Amino acid sequence: MPGVPLNPQTAMLGLAIGVVCALLFYLRTRLSPGGLLTPGWFAVALVADPRAAVVVLVAGVLTYLGVLVGQRYLILYGDRLLAAAMLLGVVLTAGWYLLAGSGFPALYPVAALGLIVPGWLAYQVANQPVLPTVVVTGLATGTSLTVTWLRSWIWGRRRARWGLGACG
């Protein structure tokens, strides 16, 4: 999907559709798909920069494993678990981008959400059954991705037809 134009309106639509999908899947299954913003953020990231989505997904898995280890030695539950997951997720994600020397991904203001998604995802997976949570997150992300990609594809074709180019 690289090369698909993504403008701020499409990014916001992707986040909004992700929130709606997350709510609908939660109401139907009583499982949180990694938080309200996670499916939408992954959808926008997969359209704009799939590498950012991979980094955040790997950081989410490492954060989850770190939380499991932390629960063995520390009293982590509730707000403490959330704070530990968020902190570890931000450190892992930011550390990856800073150590790789690539800087942070350009996803408009949505990039900042990529720092909290790993912690939020790990927190939800730590509080719910792992496999059903992963499946619900994947379904909500897939739905959001389809709508976001179709919107950006239609927008790109319309701009090309009108001869607006990349800057118009």
pLDDT score at 96? 83
pLDDT score at 94? 82
Tens digits of pLDDT across the chain (168 residues):
444 556 777 788 888 999 999 999 999 999 999 989 999 999 988 888 888 888 889 999 999 999 999 999 999 999 999 999 999 999 998 888 788 766 655 544 566 778 889 999 999 999 999 999 999 999 999 999 998 888 777 766 665 565 555 544
pLDDT score at 88? 95
Hunting for tokens 């408009």 — which residue is that? 108
Measure the CA dihedral 69/140/107/82, to 10°: -30
pLDDT score at 12? 84
User: Structural domain boundaries of the chain?
Assistant: 8-162
pTM value?
Answer: 0.81
pLDDT score at 168? 43
Task: Using the CB atoms, write b or e for 29-60: b if 16+ within 10 Å.
Answer: bebbbbbbbbbbbbbbbbbbbeebbebbeebb
What is the secondary structure of the chain as a DSSP string?
Answer: -TT----HHHHHHHHHHHHHHHHHHHHHHS--SSSSSHHHHHHHHHHH-HHHHHHHHHHHHHHHHHHHHHHHHS---HHHHHHHHHHHHHHHHHHHHHHHTS-S--BTBGGGHHHHHHHHHHHHHHHS-HHHHHHHHHHHHHHHHHHHHHHHHHHHHHHHHHT-TTT-
pLDDT score at 3? 44
